[in-house]
Structure formats: C-alpha cells, structure tokens
Amino acid sequence: MTTEKTVRCSSARVRRLLAGELAGTERADVSAHLLACETCRATERELAKEREALLRDVPFEVFASGVAERLAREKPVRNRWLRYAPLLAAACVLIVALPVALNRRAQTEVESGIRGKGGALAQLYVKDARGVHAWAPGEAIAENADVQAELKLEDKHAAAFLLEGGQAHVVFSGFARQASGKPRVVAFGWTGAHAARLVIVGSDLPIDASALQAGALATDPERWPGVVHAQSIDLPRAH
C-alpha cells in the first residue's frame, strides 16, 4: 500500500528508518510514508514486539557472554586477528617485527628488548585492573598484573622460562599447541621489583626444561642445546 509517490512499502526501509540509517530527503519521505501507511505501521509494531521478545528471552548479559564465548571458540587465524583491529583498537599487535633469520644462528638485537632467532614466537597481553590489553614492547608491567603469552611457534614442543632476580623459573613446558589445535596460552605474574625476561623456545623434539633451566642464566637461549627457535622478551617492571 503506497501512499507516497516516491516511497514503496518495504519492511527493510522501515527497519532502516528505526535503526537511524536514513538521512535527509529519504528519511523525511519514509517518515511521512510511515505515518500514512497502515502496512508499514504494522511493520513498526512488529519491530516493537521483536524488541520485547529479545529483552524477555535474551537479556544483554546473556547475549554478550554468548557472543564472547563464540568468539573464543573460533580457531585463531592470523588474518582474523588483523580483522579485529578496529574492534580492539590498538590491541592485537604482534610483539614486534623481527627480521626473519635467514641463518638460524643469526641473532638480532632490537631496541624493544626482544631478541631471538625465528619470527615472533608469542603474542603478549597484560591483564591488570583496567582489563586485558596487548602488551607493547617496552611497556612496564605492574606487580599485580598477569602476563599472558599466546604461543605462535610452528614447532611441536615449546617451553617458556622467566628469568628474574637472578633466578630462572619454568613457566611452561610441553606441546606448543593445545590438544584441540588451538594455540597454547601461558599466563603468569611475578612478585618483586625486578624486571624480568621471558624466554620462549621451540623444538620439534621434547624439551628438557629442567636441564635448560639449570643453565638458563649462563648462556643465550639461542645457544641452548636442542633449541630450534628462541626468543627473549624483556619485561620492565612498573614502579
């Protein structure tokens, strides 16, 4: 039932009007049409019922947690991380662009305090009172904050060590990916005022973390026995 020469009945158009997607002449025309057209006003009433049904059946909290759960279930793909950039503002930034080592023994020093052989082996996040955000190289970490490292290794086995205060701790040792195929995420925090260094290593063979821990402070991880890929990430401490 068309009441205006320029506007034909369309539930999509009514939806667009009510969602604030129309502007200028089109908005004025559709608004005028809506006032005079019983069919389109029925669509408007139907939209009001849909809203009632939503609020009754799926309150915002249920909706938000359901969507978050589905996003978490997604198998991470690097391109998809990049697609999140607008949503996550400055989050989802790879640790640092490390030059790919053509020679496995080549070592690269970068000003950010990250060095190693191989590409970026982990993506780091910090969880503090403000929530979770992507860690930026050089960013100081508060004592009560957690660090989360999502491992990006292609190797089958991985280990992570935290070197701080003259001690070497094993944070993780095992398969680089979860049984589900998803990337392994290791999380930790450390007490005290010392800055720390996170060392991530990868190998196609199982890693003897205890043996590496014993000599961890004596040599560069790139030279650790059996290690194929290694990366050291300096984590400054906030004061």
Distance (Å, rounded) from C-alpha 30 to C-alpha 110? Answer: 59
Q: Which one of 114, 141, 158, 171 is in contact with other proteins (CB under 8 A)?
A: 171
Site for other proteins in 207-236 (CB under 8 A): none
Distance (Å, rounded) from C-alpha 187 to C-alpha 125? Answer: 9
- Beta-strand pair 108-109/131-134: unpaired
Structure tokens at 76: 């991470």
Contact 169, 215 (CB under 8 A): no
Q: What kind and span of H or E run contains 13?
A: helix 11-18
Structure tokens at 40: 């389109």
Decide: is 145 part of the binding site for other proteins (CB under 8 A).
Answer: no
For the residues of 33-64, what is the DSSP string, one character each? Answer: HHHH-HHHHHHHHHHHHHHHHHHHHS-HHHHH
Which amino acid, 129? A
Decide: is 152 part of the binding site for other proteins (CB under 8 A).
Answer: no
Q: Which one of 34, 98, 114, 162 is in contact with other proteins (CB under 8 A)?
A: 162
Which amino acid, 65? S
Burial of residue 239 (CB within 10 Å: 0-12, 13-18, 19+) is exposed
Decide: is 172 part of the binding site for other proteins (CB under 8 A).
Answer: yes
Nearer to other proteins, 171 or 227 (CB): 171
In the complex, minimum distance from the CB of residue 55 to other proteins, in angstroms, rounded to a whole number: 8
Only one of the segments 99-107, 164-172, 201-209, 226-234 lies at the binding site for other proteins (rule: CB under 8 A); that segment is 164-172
Contact 92, 84 (CB under 8 A): yes
In the complex, minimum distance from the CB of residue 38 to other proteins, in angstroms, rounded to a whole number: 15
How many residues bind other proteins (CB under 8 A)? The answer is: 70
Decide: is 16 part of the binding site for other proteins (CB under 8 A).
Answer: yes
Decide: is 88 part of the binding site for other proteins (CB under 8 A).
Answer: yes
Structure tokens at 97: 């662009």
Among candidates 110, 210, 91, which has minimal Cα distance to 161?
Answer: 210
In the complex, minimum distance from the CB of residue 36 to other proteins, in angstroms, rounded to a whole number: 17
Decide: is 27 part of the binding site for other proteins (CB under 8 A).
Answer: no
Q: Which one of 28, 36, 58, 97 is in contact with other proteins (CB under 8 A)?
A: 58
Q: Which one of 81, 101, 119, 236 is in contact with other proteins (CB under 8 A)?
A: 81
Query: Binding residues for other proteins, per CB under 8 A?
Result: 8-13, 15-16, 19-21, 46-47, 49-51, 53-54, 57-58, 60, 62-64, 66-72, 74, 76, 80-81, 83-84, 86-89, 91-92, 125, 127, 132-134, 146, 148, 150, 162, 164-165, 167, 169, 171-172, 182, 184-194
